[in-house]
Chains A and B, each alone.
Chain A
Amino acid sequence: MVNLTIDDKQVTAPKTATIYEAAKLNGVNIPILCHDKKLKPFGACRMCLVEVEQMKGRQIPACTTPVTEGMIIRTSTPDIIKARKMVLELLLLNHPLDCPVCDKAGDCDLQNLTYEYKVDSNRFADEKFHHQIDYNNPLIERDMNRCVLCGKCARICDEIVGFGALTFINRGIETKIGCEFEEGLNCEFCGSCISVCPVGSLLARPFKFKARFWSLTKQKSVCGYCGTGCNLTLGVKDNKVLTTLYDENQGFHNGQLCVRGRFGYQFINSDQRLTSPLIRTNGRLMECTWEEALTAVASRLTGGNSVAALATPRLTNEELFLFKKMMLDNVGSSNFDHSAGYAHAALTEGFSRSLGASASPATILDVQKTDLLLVVKTDSYETHPVIGFEINMGVKNKGIKLNIISDKRGKLSKLPGANTLVHSPGSEVAVLNAIAKSILDQKLTDGSASSIPGYAELEKALAAFTPEAVAASSGISADSIKKIAKDYASAEKALILFPVGQSYPGHNQEMASAVANLVILTGKIGKEGCGVLCMSEKSNSQGAVDMGFYAQNGGMNSLQILDACKNGTVKTLFIVGENPVVSYPNGANVKAALDAVDFLVVTELFMTDTAAMADVVLPACSFAEKEGTFTSTDRRVQYVKPAIRKDVKCKTDFEILSALITKLGGQAPSSPASVFAEIAANTSGYAGMSYINLQNNGAFAPVNVTPKLVASKAAPAVSAESGKLAMVTGSTLYHSGTLSQFGEGPMHVCPEAYVEMSRNDAARYKITEKDLVTVSSSTGSIKLKAKVTPRMPEGVVYIPYHFSETPVNAIWNGSAVTVVSIAK
């Protein structure tokens, strides 16, 4: 700490602080335009000028000058005020004063500072700029006429997002912010640039002319898409969510969001939302009353194990807990599951056998605290973009070594110093085993590793996974495997990340154990910046596991339930929020099962392909309309409260389940809070939590680890015969499950499925970008557009899984790698 004087007040500040930070810490506000706490100091706008006595009273920028012992700083002398006024006058010289039609008005730093410094006239005069406004994309509007050249957009796009879409173009008075060759913006549309823009140069187009900033009510919430658990501020007016607002102090991510979080909110107020219960009469779904619908459903929830349930892990913990309780106590069935079963197997089977807990021991906060990252699949960026930002910042600012094991390259492999090992599809577990084998061979294990249960068995099982043997099947050289083993084991702190989800069937219990073995063998667990983080797919995937909403004690898992529907063992299927017709493997089989089952109840927000097959459809509520808790992938339990009032004709899943429990003769809970109290009392790690102490930033449920080494079986590598290609599926950046199809933002940017292939394969099949091609496997064929990119290795194609129009499950039966042929 250093001692200094700010505006005649004796204060202290950390050694590393700048004058701006020291002042802020001590309650002195210095105006800024170009500074953001998340970005590196830049010093472009000269608004933060202060006087430092030791510097002969010169005016120096507070945001770039570090504090020193005994500094005497004055932040608002008459001279300083005069200088700031002049800066504003100069900025307003070119800035159009179109505030009445600017969406930024009310939230505009330039407007606020102009007001604060009473700049009511300008001594200068100049022509305004006449830059063309970039309307080329549906999400972000760029009006360079309003730009003050603070560079925040270009810097955040580089420093945090790592995309680099924007930059300074030209020189001197002609300088502007733009994209390469003056093109329109064509990026991943996370909107980070919008969030930091101090003026109205970058605006969210979906929000244009929707509401004045000051008329919005700000409602804090938690994003309903992936498992990262990002915090959101929803801008609400007239009971409608109109936009997401930026709050730099929100969450571990400082308000940073991805395209889904920022632009995917429209599904909440979509006019496609279901607003009435529907019951199938004479083959058609007809509107009915809640009483009719619930009575019909309750009458079919009898017969014990002939009733089965599938729920989406986007439900709250309270709803999942209640659902499970209803199934066990009131229905008498243990057949319930979520996410196609295998999507959570890494946690429920893999981690629980290897680590003694069905949760990840590391948290997202460890990403920036580690020395070395081992990331399985470059898709990690696409499934969890905000964790991707953390990786990017760690690699660029803290020099974290990044190693990637993946079947394709991606944005992560472009980070400085990234070491990407591209393996043949489906061989990731074998590669992880080979790394473990190499760690043993090179004697790089932690001192206590040999005393951990399972060591001898693992050593024996790994004998087949010599780096040389795996090199042959995986396509990664033995030397690379040995090097990565050495780097990983010798790093003081190392963290492994891998995504799981319905589109990653290979990321199962075997991968989880293979990864856990590396962690345990090298003793990289239980320390800050160490361990493993399994990145779960949906907003409450970890919660669903914690609540135990999966097949246990002889209950059937998702895929078994569907088979049982087909053979008649299951007579009633209760689906809450899942859309298996599109997202589960082998679509034809799912449809046959749903056709065959006697009675299908679907609780949904939208008329999905699954809901369309139901006998009763119940309209439910989104995350913005209910109270409850979500557990993020790193087991942070966060509280959400309704941001808007729900439609009177809809019920939350909590209300639906409560009503059904009453109808089944049970005792319905009084409120989500009472259910959470029960959860806190019965769930390991949740003890002591309550809605009150979760209000701010939530709380981590600790994970207690009992390590055990478990030999994991590697699937045999799949090699496509000549003339065929290996197809892998996955999540694309803009989407999450099938829900994001109802978010206008994601659909504007990525409206349909595509098949991504390498340039060489494209040339071989004479396919060019956007050609309509037919991809066929042994189970069927689909037609989709081609996308030719440099990131795909030869012989491998990639198809994302989210889309109802062209569901990949027409050609995919749930195997990690599918052999396909492709024709134009």
Chain B
Amino acid sequence: MSDAVAQQAAEQEPVIDLSIADAIIDKYIDMSGNLMPVLQAAQDEYGYIPRCVADHIAERLNVYPSQIYGVLTFYAQFHLKPRGKFIIRVCVGTACHVQGAPRIVETFFDKIGIGHAETTPDLRFTFEKVACLGACGMAPLAMVNDSTYGGMTVQKVDDIIADYSKRPLK
């Protein structure tokens, strides 16, 4: 990466307010085994765990940065990249699979242009394939944040995208 590009990348990186992390750390600082609650609270606040927040937590809690990264990558609940406002989950479990989930997945890929565990550049959508959402009777199934969409069809994919594309980002 050339210096100019690096500069540009640095400018595009959103400014992270570490005082939010400090407030969380202050709350848990005297608790033993405080790493998980701190990371969870930080993720709630920032939406993901930015690098600088992980480093800051490491310094303040006196935990190795590597250890924090180990925890962050072990648990699926933590995210290291910014996440979209709307998390689209498509079930690819057995029941959904036989009911045509692969086509639903492909259609989402085609329409919003991102693959599994990726996020659109405008931070509107994050797309995830999941093994089972526990509602096999509604197969094929998709979810957007907490809303459930059963009996998915290719047409419904368009409707969902159209619906959520209209919603405000802020």
Binding site for B on A (CB under 8 A): 154, 158, 163-171, 178-181, 414, 790
Contacts and interface: CB of A to CB of B under 8 A. Distances in A.
A169 B51 contact: no
Given A168-B70, A169-B70, A181-B51, A414 B65 contact: no
Given A180-B54, A181-B51, A171 B74 contact: yes
22 contacts: A154-B66, A163-B64, A164-B66, A165-B66, A166-B66, A167-B69, A168-B74, A169-B70, A169-B73, A171-B73, A171-B74, A178-B66, A179-B69, A180-B54, A180-B55, A180-B58, A180-B66, A180-B69, A181-B54, A181-B65, A181-B69, A790-B59
Contacts of B74: 168, 170-171
A181 B62 CA distance: 18
Contact of A179 (B58, B59, B62, B66): B66
Interface in B31-78: 51, 54-55, 58-59, 62, 64-70, 73-74
Contact of B64 (A164, A170, A171, A181): A164
Contacts, number: 43
Closest 8 A-B residue pairs measured CB to CB?
A164-B64, A167-B70, A180-B65, A167-B66, A180-B69, A180-B66, A170-B73, A169-B73
Contacts of A163: 64
Interface in B66-118: 66-70, 73-74, 80
B51 A167 contact: no
- Interface majority SS (helix, strand, loop, mixed), chain B: helix
B64 A167 contact: yes
Nearest to A172: B74
Contacts of B59: 790
Given A180-B54, A181-B51, A167 B62 contact: no
Given A180-B54, A790-B59, A169 B64 contact: no
B67 A164 contact: yes
Contacts of B55: 180
Interface of B: 51, 54-55, 58-59, 62, 64-70, 73-74, 80
Given A170-B74, A171-B74, A181-B51, A414 B62 contact: yes
Contacts of A180: 54-55, 58, 64-66, 68-69
Contacts of B67: 164, 167
A76 to B, nearest CB: 36
A154 B67 CA distance: 10
A205 to B, nearest CB: 21
A54 B159 CA distance: 66
Nearest to A166: B66
A179 B64 CA distance: 10
A415 to B, nearest CB: 9
A180 B51 CA distance: 9
Nearest to B71: A167
A495 to B, nearest CB: 24
A816 B17 CA distance: 40
A180 B72 CA distance: 10
A166 B51 CA distance: 17
A790 B55 CA distance: 13
Given A165-B64, A180-B64, A180-B69, 16 more contacts: A154-B66, A163-B64, A164-B65, A164-B67, A167-B69, A167-B70, A168-B70, A168-B74, A169-B70, A170-B73, A178-B69, A180-B58, A180-B68, A181-B65, A181-B80, A414-B62
B77 to A, nearest CB: 12
A98 B32 CA distance: 45
A717 B62 CA distance: 31
Contacts of B65: 164, 180-181
Contacts of A164: 64-67
A170 B54 CA distance: 16
Q: Which of A163, A167, A168, A169 counts the most B-chain CB atoms under 10 A from its CB?
A: A167
A422 B64 CA distance: 23
